[in-house]
Amino acid sequence: MKIAVINSGSSSLKCKLFEMPSKKMLTQKEIQKIGEENSHIHSHAEALEALEINFSDVDVIGHRVVHGGEKLQKSCIIDAQVVEIIQDLIPLAPLHNPANLEGIKALKEKMPNIPQIAVFDTAFHASLQKEAFIYALPYELYEKYDIRRYGFHGTSHAYLTKEAAKILQKPLEELNIITLHLGNGASACAVKNGKSMDTSMGFTPLQGLVMGTRCGDIDPDIPLFLERELGLSAEEADNLLNKKSGLKGICGENDLRAILLREDEHAQLALDVMIRRIQKYIGAYMVMLERVDAIIFSGGIGENSTYVREHVMDNAIIKNIQSLVIQTNEELEIANECYRIIKSRR
C-alpha cells in the first residue's frame, strides 16, 4: 500500500510517500514560501503541482491536522462533515487549521477518488481527564467557548510512546513515561499506561515549556499588563508572546546550536531557564505518574543536544530515571494511522 503524508502549513506544503507495511519512505518533497511576495507559487493547489509527485498509484492520503477539538478525537476518513468540523475549529487554531484545510481541499480537487485521512495533533491527548484539562476559570468558558487544555504534538508523543514500549520491551498498557518533544516548539507529556495523562501545551501551543520563540508558562496577568500599561493591542501582545519570547526573548536568537556556541550571560540564562522549566515538568509528572519507566528526549534539541539532555538529567532525583533518545517521526506515525484505518475497513 502506498501512502502520501501531507503536512500543509500556512506557507509550506510537505509531502512524504511511504510504502506500507514495510514503512519504507519512497519520496520526500517540500514547497516553501507559498503566497509570499517574491514567490511564483501562489496557492496550495499550485504547490501541489510543483511537488511533481505522481499520486496515481497512491492508495491513501494522510493529512496532519493540528486541531481536532472535542469532536474529532481519533484519526478519521475526511468527508464533508469532518471538513466542516475542522473549519468550525478555526477560532481555536487560527494559524494552523486553515492551512491544513488548504492542503485537504487541493488534494481533494486533484485526486477526488483517493481516500483522505486526517490525523490530529490533539488526538493523543483525548485521554486527558477533566482535572487535567479544565482551567480554573468560570466553567461556562469551557461549556460555551471550548476553552480548555487540548495539548499538541500528540502525533509525536504517540509515536515516541510506541517506540519506547518496543525499546523497553514493555506492553504499552503498562508503560509509564515522560516524553519530551523539544524542537522549536516544545512540549512534555506524562504518559500513564500508554495514554496521555497530562501535557504541557494547553488551549494553544503557547503554554508550557520555554520554546524557540514562545514564552511557555507565564503569569497570565502579564499580557494584560502589556495591554494596560504599554498600550499593546491584542495582536501585538500575541506576536510578542509567540514570536519574540522564549529563547529568542532572553538572548536574541532561537537556534539552539548558535546559542550553545555563545559564552555571554544572556545565552547562558536562556539555557538555564529552558532547562529549569523542563525539570519542573519532569518533577510534576513524576509525582503524578508515581512510577516512571523512562524519560524520552526527542525533537531537534532533544535528539541532538547532549548539553540539554545532560543538564536536564543533572538532578539528584531525576538522574535515577532511565533516559532514552528517540528520533521522532510524525509523518511515519500518520502513515501508520492511515494503514491501520484502511486495513480495518477492508
Distance, CA of 229 to CA of 204 (rounded, Å): 25
- 326 DSSP assignment: -
The one among 11, 12, 39, 184 contacting ligand ADP by CB under 6 A: 184
Judged by beta carbon, residue 100 or residue 305, the one nearer ligand ADP is: 305
Handedness of CA 145, 6, 239, 299 (dihedral sign): positive
Q: Is 208 in the site for ligand ADP (CB under 6 A)?
A: no
Angle between the 306-313 and 265-289 helix axes, to the nearest 10 degrees?
50
What does residue 302 show for φ and ψ, rounded to 5 degrees? -60, -35
Classify residue 151 by its DSSP letter: -
Examine residue 30 and tell whether it contacts ligand ADP (CB under 6 A).
Answer: no
Contact range with ligand ADP by CB under 6 A, out of 75-83, 103-111, 216-224, 300-308:
300-308
> Least separation, in Å, of the C-beta of 257 and ligand ADP?
4
Q: Which of 255, 272, 310, 314 binds ligand ADP (CB under 6 A)?
A: 255
Q: How far is CA 22 from CA 82, 219, 329, 335, 341, in A?
A: 29, 48, 15, 11, 16
- Binding of residue 256 to ligand ADP (CB under 6 A): yes
Shortest separation between residue 294's beta carbon and ligand ADP, angstroms: 20
Classify 266 as helix, strand or coil. helix
Binding track, positions 59-98, relative to ligand ADP; x by CB under 6 A: ----------------------------------------
Question: 214 Cβ partners below 8 Å, 6+ apart?
Answer: 185, 205, 206, 241, 242, 243, 245, 246
Q: Which of 176, 305, 329, 336 binds ligand ADP (CB under 6 A)?
A: 305
Which residue pairs, CB below 8 angstroms and at least 24 apart, start in 283-287?
A: 283/317, 283/318, 285/178, 285/188, 285/190, 285/198, 286/178, 286/317, 286/318, 286/321
Task: Give the integer Cα–Cα distance in Å for 230 and 241.
Answer: 14
Q: Which three cell numbers stand for residue 335?
A: 502513515
Which position among 121, 255, 272, 293 bears the catalytic label? 121
Residue 185 binds to ligand ADP (criterion: CB under 6 A) = yes
**Least distance in Å: CB of 329 to ligand ADP?**
12
Contact letters (x/-) for ligand ADP, 4-23, by CB under 6 A? --------------------
161 interacts with ligand ADP by CB under 6 A:
no
Binding mask 130-149 for ligand ADP (x = CB under 6 A): --------------------
Strand pairing report for 323-325 and 186-192: unpaired
The window from 7-15, 55-63, 69-77, 298-306 that contacts ligand ADP (CB under 6 A) reads 298-306
Active-site residue, 121 included: yes
> By CB under 6 A, which span of 51-59, 154-162, 180-188, 217-225 interacts with ligand ADP?
180-188
* Residue closer to ligand ADP (CB basis): 8 or 305: 305
Beta bridge partners of 17: 4, 27
- Looking at the annotation, which residues are catalytic? 121
The residues that touch ligand ADP, with contacts defined as CB under 6 A, are 183-185, 212, 255-257, 299-301, 304-305
